Every structure is written in C-alpha cells, then in structure tokens.
A and B are shown apart, each in its own frame.
Chain A
Amino acid sequence: MKTKPRFETQKFIDTPPREETWALRLYIAGQTPKSITAFANLKKICETHLPGRYKIEVIDLLKQPQLAAGDQIVALPTLVRKLPEPLRRIVGDLSNTEKTLVGLQLRPAKSEP
C-alpha cells in the first residue's frame, strides 16, 4: 500500500478499517469541465488513498434530476461519501487535494488555532 508518510500522533485518528469498502457518489450535471476535473481528481485521490476498496458512482443530474433531492444536492459537482458513515459532502471540483482528504476524513483537519 502506497501511502504518504503519516505523523505518529495521527495514527489512531479516524483511519477506516481496512476491510471496509468506500461508497462514493459523485453528482455532476453533464460533461462540463468542472465535472471532468472533479472525476479525475477523485479518481486520483482514491487510487492513492483507497486502492481497491472504493466504489465511485457517478450520477448525472441532467439525466436523473429526481435524484438530486435525495442527497440534498445544491452545488455541483458534489461528492457524497455514503460509506463509511457518517455521510459527508464535498462540493467543488476537488482540485484542492488537501481539503478533499480532510473532507473525506482521510486526513484530520489541521490542528485548530
């Protein structure tokens, strides 16, 4: 497993159990540059941090608009972490990897001031 080096103190924090598969859902509206960037960024992050145990479901709201209400989608693109619980939402094209990792709780937020 190829991971970035971690700090010792973060060892026990919020690391998902190895066996759990991550269910991710990416909401987009058509093949816009933002959607494509978001998908590419997500793919990269998952490959890096969750190799082999992630599932990405892409939902194009232009095709299935009725699904938007279910996950309370307002902004697009939105990434929803269905599993593991709790549910997390990350909006944007995920271009800020650091923030995405924090949002997905793959990395704890920077210590608060």
Chain B
Amino acid sequence: MTRTPRDGAIKTLPKAPTGIQGLDEITEGGIPRGRPTLVCGGAGCGKTLLAMEFIVRGAAAYNEPGVFMAFEETAPELAQNVRSLGFDLDKLIKQKKVAVDFVHIERSEIDETGDYDLEGLFVRLGHAIDTVGAKRVVLDTLEALFSGLTNTTILRAELRRLFRWLKDKGVTAIITGERGEGQLTRHGLEEYVSDCVILLDNRVYDQVATRRLRIVKYRGTTHGTNEYPFLIDETGIIVLPITSLGLQHKVSNERISSGVSGLDEMLGGGGYFRGSSVMITGTAGVGKTSISAHFAKAACERGEKCLYFAFEESPGQIVRNMRSIGLNLEPWVKKGKLRFHSIRATLHGLETHLTTFHKLVREFQPDVVVFDPIDSLVQAGTRKDATAMLTRLLDFMKVQHITVLLTNLVHGGETLENSGVEISSLVDTWILLRDIELNGERNRGIYILKSRGMAHSNQIREFLLSDRGIHLQDVYLGPEGVLTGTARRSLEAREHSAAVLRQQELEAQERDRRRKREALEARILVMQKEFESEEEEALRRISQGQAREATLQLDRDKMAYWRKAAKKQGGKK
C-alpha cells in the first residue's frame, strides 16, 4: 500500500530513479541517492537483471553513468544476457556511459599469506568510476569474495570500509546478495547496508511461478510494504504495484453507447460512462460475447480503438460467430480499429497476463477494452490472486481512461449475483443476463443490477438475438407479470384482441350516443315546430280577440251614442 506523503512533510530523502517500471512507484521515487541498496534473493530471481537495468536505464534515461562490477559473469556474457532484453550494453560502454569490470576470484588460484586488504578492489572501482564519471555503481555479487578469500575477519572489515567509501564517493549503489538461511543474505551483507533492502523472490504456487518483490526496509522514507509481483519480459523488469494508484483518477461525464440501443435506454438513455468498468454476468450461452461484440463494434463506429481479449475463442471464431447475428467485425479488424488478442488463460500465470495486458494497452492505446471472459483467469491462479489482479487491471484502465467491459460466466447452480471473482464491488455497471425458463422454453432476460451514477431501469427485459443483432424487447407488463418468449407473444395477441374488442365496444357506444343525440335533437326540432305553430295560433287568436274587443267597444259606443241621440233626437226631433 502506498501512503501519500503527509502535508508539510519534511523534505524527503533524495532518491535516484531506477527507471524500472513500478519500482519507482513503490519506492516513491527510487532508491536512496548516494547510498548503497541491498538487493537480495535466491538464485534466478532477477537480482542481476534488476541491477543491470538500474545501470543501463540510469545511463540511457537519466544521464547518470554507471559502473557494473560483476563477480560472476564476464562483460561479454552480461552484454549478451541483457541484449535479449533490448539493452545495448556494448554501445553504452563505447560511449563511456557504462563501465563493466569483471572481477574474477578463484580460490584455487590464490594463496593467502599474511595481512592484506581489498585495496585492489577499491582501486579498480575507483578507476572505473573516474573513467565514466559514474553516479551509479553495482556490485554483483559481493559474496563471491567470501568464496574466493578465506580470511573473513579481513573481508568484513573491508566490506564495512567499502560501504563507507561508496557513501563518501556519493554514488548510488546496488549490492546484490544471495538469499541465506534465516537471514537475508548468506554472509549477512544486510549488516552493512542499512538504508534500503529489497528482497526478490520466485515462488511456485499450483505450478505457476510468480516473482515477487518486497522492500524490507527503506530508512527515512515511506514506501510500499507489500509484496509486489513482478515480471521479467522482453523489456526488462516490470513491477506491478497493486494499489499504488490510489483512487484519484479523473472521472468523465461522457456517455458512450453500449452498441445496443435498448440497453442504452435502460442505462438512463446514454450508455456507459466513459472510463467506467462494466461487468456482464450470465450463464453459458446467454449472449455475453454478443453484447461485448456490439460494444466493440459501436466503439469502432465512433472511430475509437478497441482491444478485445478473448480467453476462450480465437479471433476467427468470434468474427464468424458474430456474423451470424449480423455483426461484421472483419472490416474493423482490417482497418486496425479492432484488435483481438486470444490467449488461453492457463498458458501462463496471472502476473504475466497482467503484463501482457499492460503492454498491449500501452502499444495499442485503445479507448475500450473487452475481456471475455474473466473467470477463466481464475484458472491461472487462485481466486484471491485473480481478484487482486483484476483490481489492479481495473485501476490501470481507469487511470488510462479506458472503458472496460468484462464478461463473467456463472455456472449453473450458482447464484447470478455471485460474480465468481469477487470484483462486483469494483465495477461501475453490472449487467445480468439470465435464462428465464417458462412454459417449456428458455428465453434470455437482461437487467441492470447496478450502474453507478445514472438513473437506470429496474426492469427485466427480454433480449433477442436475431440475424440483425441484439434487440431488446419492450417489457410486457401486465396482470401476469413479465412474460417472455411465446408466452409473451400469445399474451400480447390476447391483449391485442381484447383491445380490439374494447375498441369496438367503445365505438359502438359512441355511435349509440350519437344516434341518441340525433334522435333527441330531432325530437326537439319537432316540439319546437309544434310550439311555433301553437304560438302562431295563439297569437292569431289573441289578435282576433283584441279586434273583437275593439269592435264591441265601438259598438257599445255607438249604442250609447245612439241612446243619447235618441233622447236628444227624440226631444229635438
């Protein structure tokens, strides 16, 4: 575990970067500058290589010339050994950036009489340092002195003097030592080197060998204290810190399509977040690879690059199989947008796998990476190791801002939510594919178990693999729950006919209503007409009455007139 330096920490020890991938991360900058560091370990664990890489990278990358004092291998042998790792030692020697001095001590050729010291070694080392202006020194392995010379009292005194002398010279030194019984080195070199001790180890577990590195002590500085797996590949040593990266990666709000439109909808409409990790879990044959292939194709169509790690199928097989669901990946492979890397998980250990991933990712610079399926990696190590390895892998991808899609096969009988490699808490989006057995048929269901940071659907949808790719069927939601396959179809048909019936009924009601209204309106019209005629009649009678009344009045007036007149007329007449 790497601790971050506390704020206001005292200025730390000056460090010399080794240039070895990962080691500088664990040591937070390198090994102590101007001091000796002890690298110990058993035979064949990579001590010499680590030391040599320190010298070569120092000379090539940090402009710090170095001296390699070899007690076991000659200069040509060393040059040959490191050439296979891409270092041109001869060239560096010619450029006077590196000096290699082979010290040969053979007990049978040496007799000891009387007092002596190791001034010869000092002279040689001093001369070599002065020749190239060395800042770095490697002594590989000093313990050869113990087999060449018998007087250990002198040797120990001289070694103490040597380390003092190295410190006075101000060179950063690596001293290698063979692992001893009960102590770090066979001759107790750790007694003299008190600043930094690195232990290398090569362990075999379950027929898989894993190299590990541990910093036993590092005086005056914080450092990673775990055992870190490391690898030796064609570029040298790569140490893989498990959690050195911390959780400080930048996050993106950008969404990228999953390649399946229905799935994007389920994921809140946009798809996955860029740089997130997606796990697809499901039993055999539910379509994990198909979803992965859709994702890969969608990335290529966006103009991004996709790296596809297949642990169970060859690239050709995947391309052929995907063609059957209408997905043609071949053009993208040809364009160099899609690269397959098929490898059997059991071919080598997890660490080698991890390095292969790292290397390919660095080389290819993909935007999305697919691992199909990850559970086979468990076969290459233990479950715990696989989990640790995947943690590191996901961390690495996150930092690189790569979207990762992992598929995970769950075997029958296991619960789906059991991810097998226990990384469910690490992934951001977890999609479950499941078989739904109903009415004598098996159908595929998909649902999102979790998806951090987005409002995702909580529904199970049916997904269909057709010759035009994956199609997510809208959920059938009804009184009978979610139905799939023919059950869904028959129910949908029933639903459909019921709906038609309902529609017809509605239409009939509507027609009825309209008819009624029409009838009512007609009746209103008739009544109105009747009323109008009655009204007319009434009005006529009223006016007739009034006329009669007027006539009567007139008559009465006349009569009255007449009566008076008669009186008058009678009198007058």
Contact = CB atoms under 8 A, between A and B. Distances in A.
Interface in A57-113: 61-62, 65-66, 68-69, 72-78, 87-96, 99-100, 102-103
B105 A99 contact: no
B127 to A, nearest CB: 4
Contacts of B571: none
B115 A73 contact: no
Interface stretch (B116-124, B465-473, B526-534): B116-124
Given A29-B119, A61-B119, A91-B149, A73 B113 contact: no
Contacts of B114: 37-38, 41, 92-96
29 contacts: A29-B120, A34-B116, A34-B117, A37-B115, A65-B127, A66-B127, A69-B124, A72-B103, A74-B105, A74-B118, A74-B148, A75-B120, A76-B117, A76-B119, A76-B120, A76-B123, A77-B116, A90-B113, A91-B111, A91-B113, A92-B112, A92-B114, A92-B116, A93-B114, A94-B113, A95-B113, A99-B113, A100-B111, A103-B113
**Chain B interface mostly helix, strand, loop or mixed?**
mixed
Interface of B: 101-105, 109-121, 123-124, 126-127, 145, 148-149
B116 A68 contact: no
A40 to B, nearest CB: 12
B356 to A, nearest CB: 42
B111 A89 contact: yes
A78 to B, nearest CB: 6
A99 B101 CA distance: 30
Nearest to A90: B111
Contacts of B145: 74
A96 B113 CA distance: 5
Contacts of A93: 113-116
Interface residues of A, number: 33
Given A74-B145, A74-B148, A95 B116 contact: no
A27 interface: yes
B120 A74 contact: yes
A75 to B, nearest CB: 5
Nearest to A30: B119
A76 B118 contact: yes
B111 A99 contact: yes
A38 B111 CA distance: 14
Name which of A29, A34, A62, A75 has the most chain B CB atoms within 10 A of its CB: A75
Contacts of A89: 109-111
Contacts of A68: 120, 123-124, 127
Contacts of A92: 112-116
Contacts of A41: 114
Given A72-B103, A72-B105, A75-B149, A103 B120 contact: no
Nearest to A94: B113
A4 to B, nearest CB: 18
B104 A72 contact: yes
Given A29-B123, A65-B127, A72-B104, A102 B111 contact: yes
B110 A73 contact: no
Contacts of A37: 114-115
Contact of A34 (B101, B112, B115, B148): B115
A2 to B, nearest CB: 22
B56 to A, nearest CB: 21
B110 A91 contact: yes
A74 to B, nearest CB: 5
Name which of B120, B127, B148 has the most chain A CB atoms within 10 A of its CB: B120
A113 to B, nearest CB: 17
Contact of A88 (B105, B109, B118, B126): B109
Contacts of A34: 115-117
Given A69-B124, A91-B112, A103-B113, 17 more contacts: A72-B104, A72-B105, A73-B124, A74-B145, A74-B149, A75-B119, A75-B121, A76-B117, A76-B120, A90-B110, A91-B149, A93-B113, A94-B113, A94-B114, A96-B113, A99-B111, A102-B111
B362 to A, nearest CB: 41
Contacts of B110: 89-91
A37 to B, nearest CB: 8
B117 A103 contact: no
Contacts of A76: 116-120, 123
Contacts of B126: 65
Nearest to A103: B111
B120 A78 contact: yes
A93 B104 CA distance: 21
A61 B113 contact: no
B175 to A, nearest CB: 16
Interface in A22-70: 27, 29, 34, 37-38, 41, 61-62, 65-66, 68-69
A61 B123 CA distance: 7
A69 B124 CA distance: 7
The 6 closest A-B pairs by CB, nearest first: A103-B111, A95-B114, A65-B127, A92-B114, A73-B120, A93-B114
Name which of B103, B109, B115, B126 has the most chain A CB atoms within 10 A of its CB: B115
Contact of B124 (A65, A88, A94, A103): A65
Name which of A37, A61, A62, A102 has the most chain B CB atoms within 10 A of its CB: A61
Nearest to A99: B113
Contacts of A74: 103, 105, 118, 120-121, 124, 145, 148-149
